[in-house]
Amino acid sequence: MREEEIEKLRGVVRDCVSKHLYSSAIFFADKVAALTNDPADIYMQAQALFLGRHFRRAFHLLNASKIVLTDLRFRYLAAKCLEELNDWDQCLSMLNLPHHHTNNSLIYLDKDAAAAEINISSAICFLRAKAYEALENRAQARLWYIAAVKADPLCYEALECLIEKHMLTCDEEATLLSSLQFGPEDGWLSSFYSCLTKKYDKESVVEAKFKELEKESCISDSSDSSITQTLKANTDLLACKAEYYHQCGEYQKCFELTSVLLEKDPFHLKSTLVHLAAAMELGNSNELYLMACNLVKDYPQKALSWFAVGCYYYCIKKYDQSHRYFRDDTVAGYLGLSNGWPQWNPTCIRPLCDWELESRDSFLPEMYSAKVSLLQEDRKKKILIGFGVIHSKATNLDGTFPPAWIGYGNAYAAREEGDQAMSVYRTAARLFPGCHLPTLYIGMEYMRTHSFKLAEQFFMQAKTICPSDPLVYNELGVVAYHMKEYNKAALWFEKTLAHIPSPLSELWEPTVVNLAHAYRKLNGAAWLGVELKVMAAAYCLGQFFLFGWMYHEAISRYEKALALSTRSVSTYAGLAYTYHLQDNFTAAITYYHKALWLKPDDQFCTEMLSVALVDECRRGVDPKIEFRRSEVFV
């Protein structure tokens, strides 16, 4: 056969691959490789076999050629075959073979595109990282993901794994991005990557990143404005903005943006995840129900789908059912005995939901046909919650999906099952060392049980992982307040407000109230750092601050909190009590009444209102009023 005819067959193979006619590609590639025995044609045949999902045959072909020892691309494709076969140990062995350098250009299918290729070393590092992660060696996986990105910044998948699986802290992400060597034409990519990382910086910093990205796009091709327009409307970029809005607590704004994105691209999973989170915070159970139905129908094998179901049940406060969708469990508890033999005994605990009907019909025949034993637990991974069978959910489908682990722990915490919640949070902290939320929630659980010192330790650890999240500083302030370290509490609350993007939303109203409480509790001498042994000498100065500046600061914070939310009993009560301490009985009575209007059975406000009314009546009449009033408040 002439060379022209063989080249024509090579073109047919490439065209079959581009049209996804893999059987045809395999047929013609096999004939070309047999005629030429050329390494490039053998590689083309192996590629066709791989795309046709003939992984064993492709690996055998590559391994038998012996070129795998001398050519990185042969070795990489052989390792990819082993990846698809889930043979991770042999995959690592293949990647770790000693390499003898040869001219790799022989095996390019498209030599003109060689300059635009991702570095093969980067791809090998990425595959090695995936293998280590599958073998649960996350420390090595993290190192190789980093090596993959550094070998070629265009290897986006490696960076995505590092970010989505929270393998790096905020500082480590920033250090990694600053170390990447981008080409002169890839300035936009550097800005885009910076938008993908954790977004706990100040509002001006994050907004500057988005503006810089648009600016880089304009500079990259000033003659074509369509590039800038495309990037401004790009779904990935807008999803990053939505994620930032969620982290800022602007849930309505986030929900509106993700709604627009999902109308444009209903199957963009990152936007879907942020949309679910925003709907959860807004208590939009109808939207969660619809999203859960569609996701389970379209992606029954994705953790995100069952995470959506768990979010729906969490939103309607059915925590017992919610945590089942965040976890896996055994079904051994649903076996009964009939004449000494085990048999299934499913019971219907509620009507089935739409997303469970198809699973029920497919699972029941398999369940009843399965052989069961009393000696071991059946771990079938099928879906039938409506019949009491607790099935594998988000964490079992994808053990590296952080939202599922957090939701799983939160469902236990909502039911006040602290031990189970702590166990889940510890597992999440081990799996996702770059995510501070599990550590933060462990501290919250310790604080709920009044173990304030332990709680403070975990809050400080969360602060080390993510030093720019205002929620961490808020919890540090709360635990300091509980330990009666009011000066420290005030400082932490001030730092919380300093890290919150302006303007403040209603979400942060409790922080402002807590700061006001701390100012009210503060002793003027302690705030100024006066030693206890000289407090008597500083009595006048202390009285000035205690009854003057501190109370004015507290009142200022209470009024700021009221501007954020007018339905808070604690704000009105705190404001009334502060006025009461200032002997402003008229204002105190007014705010006690407002608090009682919101919560008529509030014991503190009821009692203090009575005291304030008595004080108002006795003003200027009873010379012992100061002694009696101080005795009551102390």
User: Is the pTM higher than 0.85?
Assistant: no
In the structure, what pLDDT confidence band is assigned to residue 363 with cuts at 50, 70 and 90? low
Which residue reads 């304009």 in tokens? 218
DSSP 67: G
Q: Are 67 and 48 a contacting pair, CB within 8 Å?
A: no
Q: What pLDDT score does 366 carry?
A: 55
- From CA 10, how far away is CA 31, in angstroms rounded? 10
Q: Are 50 and 81 a contacting pair, CB within 8 Å?
A: yes
Mean pLDDT over the full length of the chain: 79
Q: Are 102 and 127 a contacting pair, CB within 8 Å?
A: no
Of 433 and 191, the one with more pLDDT: 433
Domain count, the chain: 3
Segment of 101-105, 188-192, 323-327 carrying the highest mean pLDDT: 188-192
Alpha-carbon 269 to chain mean position: 13
Q: Is residue 218 part of a domain?
A: no
DSSP for 74-88?
HHHHHHHHHHHTT-H
At 518-527, the pLDDT tens digits run 988 884 434 4
Mean pLDDT, range 223-250, rounded to an integer: 75
Q: Is the pLDDT of residue 496 over 80?
A: yes
Q: Are 557 and 512 a contacting pair, CB within 8 Å?
A: yes
Q: Is the pLDDT of residue 629 over 60?
A: no
In the structure, what pLDDT confidence band is assigned to residue 116 with cuts at 50, 70 and 90? low
Q: Which amino acid is at 42?
A: I
Which residue reads 């990105």 in tokens? 149
Q: What pLDDT score does 271 carry?
A: 93
- From CA 609, how far away is CA 603, in angstroms rounded? 10
C-alpha Rg value of the chain to the nearest Å = 32
Helix, strand, coil percentages, rounded to 5, for the chain: 70, 0, 25
Q: Is residue 234 part of a domain?
A: no
DSSP 332: G
DSSP 384: B
> Which of 391, 415, 437 is a domain's end point?
391
- From CA 173, how far away is CA 291, in angstroms rounded? 32
- From CA 407, how far away is CA 425, in angstroms rounded? 10
Q: Are 431 and 405 a contacting pair, CB within 8 Å?
A: yes
Q: Is residue 18 part of a domain?
A: yes
Mean pLDDT, range 308-332, rounded to an integer: 70
Q: Is residue 170 part of a domain?
A: no
Pairing of strands 341-344, 335-338: antiparallel
Q: What pLDDT score does 102 carry?
A: 43
In the structure, what pLDDT confidence band is assigned to residue 622 with cuts at 50, 70 and 90? very low
Sign of CA dihedral 383, 388, 393, 395: negative
Domain carrying residue 91: 1-117
At 132-188, the pLDDT tens digits run 999 989 999 999 999 999 999 999 999 999 999 999 988 899 899 999 988 887 878
Beta strands in 290-444 (DSSP E): 335-338, 341-344
Which tokens belong to 570? Answer: 């604690």
Which tokens belong to 589? Answer: 């009575």
> Which of 117, 142, 173 is a domain's end point?
117
Q: What pLDDT score does 364 carry?
A: 56
> Which of 391, 411, 431 is a domain's end point?
391
Q: What pLDDT score does 550 carry?
A: 78
Ranges 163-177, 203-217, 280-294, 498-512: which has the least confidence: 203-217
Helices (H), 449-564: 452-465, 470-482, 486-498, 509-521, 524-528, 539-544, 550-564
Q: Is residue 345 part of a domain?
A: yes
- From CA 612, how far away is CA 577, in angstroms rounded? 9
Of 460 and 314, the one with more pLDDT: 460
With 0-12 / 13-18 / 19 or more C-beta atoms within 10 angstroms meaning exposed / middle / buried, residue 332 is: middle
Q: Is residue 75 part of a domain?
A: yes
Q: Which amino acid is at 205?
A: V
**What CATH number has the domain bearing residue 541?**
1.25.40.10
**For residues 229-239, b (16+ Cβ closer than 10 Å) or e, as one string?**
eebeeeeebbb
Mean pLDDT, range 391-409, rounded to an integer: 75
DSSP 565: -
389 forms beta bridges with: 384
Mean pLDDT, range 405-424, rounded to an integer: 88
- From CA 393, how far away is CA 357, in angstroms rounded? 16
At 49-75, the pLDDT tens digits run 999 999 999 999 999 888 888 889 999
Which residue reads 């409506």 in tokens? 386
At 599-615, the pLDDT tens digits run 999 999 999 999 999 98
Q: Is residue 143 part of a domain?
A: no
Q: Is residue 355 part of a domain?
A: yes
